[in-house]
Amino acid sequence: MLARYPFILTSWGGEVLALAGTEMLGKRLATFAAKRARAIIVDARILRDIWIKLGVDKSKIHVIPFGVDTTTFNRQANSDAVKNDLHLDKDDVVTISTRFLFNHHYNIDCLIKAIPLIRKEHEKARFLIKGSGPLEGYLKRLTERLGVSDSVRFVGLVPHDKVAQYLSAADIYVSTCYVDSTSVSLLEAMACGLAPVVTDIAGNREWIEDGVNGLLFPPRNSEVLAEKINQLIENQQLRKSYGKKCAQIITEKATWDKCVSSMEAVYEALL
């Protein structure tokens, strides 16, 4: 069937990352399909490099991130209602995580374990955990066991058109995921002008340069994560500088309109 009809293969996320360095039927099938595709669209350079290592012609691989709707996700999103609902004070410095709570590779417990270390230095630090999933109960129990539940707000699932309000209620964005390509959650936070602290993995390094528009930390290292968050809590000007640079990067490289136009161009070139 693949030999009879032309097609474009779109591959995003951890599934492709899992193909690297493994020997399995899925890898052989994926490579078979990729080599026969007229074009391949990926959301990160690391995915392009994996396909190339698997023998796919690099000339037909196009790196196009999943764009951000900057009419919704921007630095002007109104957060007053969220701050009131969550009882956030004006002098609170708020860190937010927006990853799902259903897979251990998102590693949300790394952030939870960093909170006691942060609270030693900054009693007004607050943390928003957006998302839901089977790990939610474990994470809530962990906050109670560590004695930091008063600093953490688990906000559950949030309609996508409301996520920007929660991001704008925060000052710092954290991603503790240790397997990822280009994270849409990170791009949305960047568009809202948050200062990012994210894991030092290839997918994040495509968007965050350590010490330039955000901070990187070693995956699974709660102690270093706490140090990085403390650094931003203590330096409002640095937070604003990182956030401004991040928003500009999204405007230049990852708006919904620009990414859709790039994808349309791939299709039109093959018609």
Segment 7-22, tens digit of pLDDT: 999 887 766 666 655 5
Same-domain pairing of 56 and 122: no
State both tokens at 194: 């948050």
Distance, CA of 24 to CA of 153 (rounded, Å): 41
Domain C-terminal end among 37, 63, 89: 63
Average pLDDT over residues 124-139: 96
Residue 244 has pLDDT above 90, yes or no: yes
Tell me, yes or no, whether 49 and 124 share the same domain.
Answer: no
Q: Are residues 112 and 45 in the same domain?
A: no
Is residue 123, in this structure, part of any structural domain at all?
A: yes
Q: Output DSSP code: residue 105.
A: G
Residues 92 and 195 in one domain: yes
Whether 262 is in a domain gets the answer no
Q: Report CA 103 to chain centroid distance, whole Å.
A: 14
Does 205 lie in the same domain as 95? yes
91 and 34 in one domain?
Answer: no
Domain CATH code at residue 138: 3.40.50.2000
pLDDT the model gives residue 104: 81
Cα distance between residue 196 and residue 25, in whole Å:
38
| Same domain for 178 and 84 | yes
What tens digit of pLDDT does each residue of 210-243 get?
Answer: 999 999 999 999 999 999 999 999 999 999 999 9
- Is 91 part of a structural domain of the chain? yes
Q: Tell me how long the chain is.
A: 271
Q: Which conformational region is residue 103 in: left (phi greater than 0), alpha (psi within -120 to 50 degrees), or beta?
A: beta
Same domain, 138 and 32: no
Q: 24 pLDDT exceeds 80?
A: no
- The alpha carbon dihedral of 169, 153, 220, 234 has a sign of positive
Average confidence score pLDDT of the chain: 92
Domain that holds residue 54: 8-63
Q: Is residue 261 part of a domain?
A: no
Residues 91 and 143 in one domain: yes
Q: Is residue 181 part of a domain?
A: yes
**Residue 2 reports pLDDT greater than 60:** no
pLDDT of 70 above 90 = yes
The per-residue pLDDT for 25 is 65
pLDDT of amino acid 33: 86
Q: Report pLDDT digits (tens) over 47-66.
A: 999 899 889 999 999 999 99
Residue 2 lies in a domain: no
* Residue 125: pLDDT over 90: yes
pLDDT at 30 (0 to 100): 83
158 and 94 in a common domain: yes
Q: Do both 84 and 132 map to the same domain?
A: yes
Q: What share of the chain is helix, strand, coil (3-state, %, to 5)?
A: 50, 15, 35
pLDDT higher than threshold 60 for residue 202: yes
Confirm whether 28 is domain-assigned: yes
Q: Is residue 5 pLDDT above 80, yes or no?
A: no
| Residues 59, 85 within the same domain | no
Tally of domains within the chain: 2
Task: Quote the pTM value.
Answer: 0.93
Domain annotation covers residue 51: yes
Our separate counts of H helices and E strands in the chain read 12, 9
Token digits of residue 169: 């209620």
Q: What is the mean pLDDT of residues 113-128?
A: 97
